[in-house]
Structure 1
């Protein structure tokens, strides 16, 4: 019998070639929220872009330096500024001389449940990419695709030479993304998901989880999942009347790891805020919500 899959027992610090233009190095930061850890991508052959350099852990920085192997780094790009994605940008930039390019800086007090997702206050980009802006290197192009929702500053990066999209945390290869207010926004997330559903990318490279080779089907499924969750919330409040989020989570997320209940509550709150904005539900001021 095969041993059960253990996200913490995956090979870190090794350059894995995924395509002629894409390599991947896994950071040693597995958790219930990061799965096997943050995946940093190297794009290019003779000159490189590094996407989501990850946590500023010495072992991971050494692994990235080894994978770069003396080649020129044109840019270090970050999809967003949660602490498992961007802190290594500054030391890697100092080591390689490469500029930090990509998402806008964003620092908020995060009252969510996951310490690893606090915003990276050290992130200082040399250039912020607007939606549709491009970077080029020898044989490759990266185009910014604005995808707010998981965070307001989230970008994906398209690689048109391979019809690939680096999706950060917007679409992951193992789980749906946590949408945690006040910065996480369910309305924006669903709009961004529809944008991806309308694209013709052939493969996704997420920051967590394996590559996705039928991305539109996954996106449609994730959108359907969110609509189902919204329906659950509406039915719960209609049946039970005014209720608090912990009670909703206990019923709607039966069987999940209890360590994820806090994150589930944030996503429920994001749904409730979206329903409030649409005039369908509202808060009572005592932590409870009700249908209007």
Structure 2
């Protein structure tokens, strides 16, 4: 189990992670966000403009820290990878304070939102411009291009910084843990396809919304694909022993799991089962799953 490093964390500080990128940590640590959500300010620190990626939760001190990191530069775009509440709620107040447009993923509000283990969706998110795969934003000395990566959520985007080869991966690939895929919006088949899509790219590093920068991105993605395939094989093996409900997988698949993360593990197993069902490998009878 991954543990959160001891405090102090650099909450609210503008850290230079590469020449065109500052990172600002939001004050929202949790078992699902690690030390907090990381907002990125992209652009030459001495230049006239910048972009903000994943403005984070609507916390006044975090919004003030983002504005301080911009250091007088014009914010040309507030760019959101997806609309979980630890990523996009600060977009509206930041736009109101700076006049910057909100650009990036499509809005998404689930009509059915039962008990969840991840952050709920942000119903306040209202973009001025939605980016599709390959579209982007340009400023003075920086270019950000959208890379569609559905799976963690159906509206998830990554953003490629063309000048440095970095990719801002939001929650699709994180620097501390695997992403949680939660139906009905999260889709394991889409998630795996998006990982394969990143494997075909030549990004030199990833900056995720949670955790350290990833300096060997393709190696990590290869491992993530292998991990998910192992989980799938584990599910099929356990179903081969006996039919069971989702809760019946957890003791065998997640030994020593923090009890607070059991709902997330159950939803991840559910996402795998739904994907296997679509492929004709398993079926369900009420709440019990069995092999076909």
Q: CA–CA distance in 2 between the matches of 1:281 and 1:5?
A: 36
Partner of 2:182: 180
**Distance (whole Å) between structure 1 residues aligned to residue 201 and residue 158 of structure 2:** 12
Shift of residue 5 of structure 1? Answer: 5.5
C-alpha root-mean-square deviation of aligned residues, in Å? 1.1
Is 2:271 the counterpart of 1:270?
yes
- Assess if the C-alpha contact under 8 Å between 1:61 and 1:88 holds in 2: yes
Matched, 1:279 2:270: no
DSSP-derived class of the 1:18 partner? strand
Cα-to-partner distance string for 1:22-81 (whole Å, 9 max, x where unaligned): 110000000000001000000002210000000000111111111112110000000000
* In structure 2, distance between residues paired with 1:288 and 1:8: 43
Partner of 2:250: 249
The 1:86–1:5 alpha-carbon spacing in structure 2 relative to 1, beyond 3 Å, is: closer
Deviates more, 1:147-156 or 1:116-125: 116-125
Q: Which residue in 2 is equivalent to 1:113?
A: 116
Shift of 1:111: 2.3
Partner SS for 2:249: helix
Cα deviation, 1:155-211, whole Å, max 9, x if unaligned, reads 000011100100000000000000000000000000000000010000000000000
Query: Does the 8 Å contact 2:239/2:290 carry over to 1?
Result: yes
SS in 2 for 1:183: coil
Question: With structure 2 as the length reference, what TM-score do the two structures score?
Answer: 0.96
Equivalent positions of 1:54-73 (< 5 A) are 54-73=56-75
Query: Who is 1:39 aligned against?
Result: 38
Give the whole-Å Cα distance in 1 for the aligned partners of 2:104 and 2:17: 23
1:125 — aligned with what?
127
SS at match of 1:40: strand
Gaps of 5+ in 1: none
Counterpart in 1 of 2:289? 289
Aligned equivalents of 2:54 and 2:270: distance in 1? 28
What is the deviation of 1:255? 1.0
Distance 1:273 1:7, change over 3 A: farther
Are the equivalent residues in 1 in contact too, given 2:4–2:35 (CA < 8 A)? no
Contact 2:203 2:217 in 1 (8 A): yes
Q: TM-score, normalised by structure 1?
A: 0.96
CA distance in 1, matches of 2:128, 2:6: 34
Secondary structure (helix, strand or coil) at the match of 1:61 reads: helix
Aligned residues: 286
Residue deviations 1:249-289, cap 9 Å, x none? 1211011211111000000000000000000001111x110
CA contact (8 A) 1:7 1:36 kept: no
C-alpha displacement of 1:110: 2.6
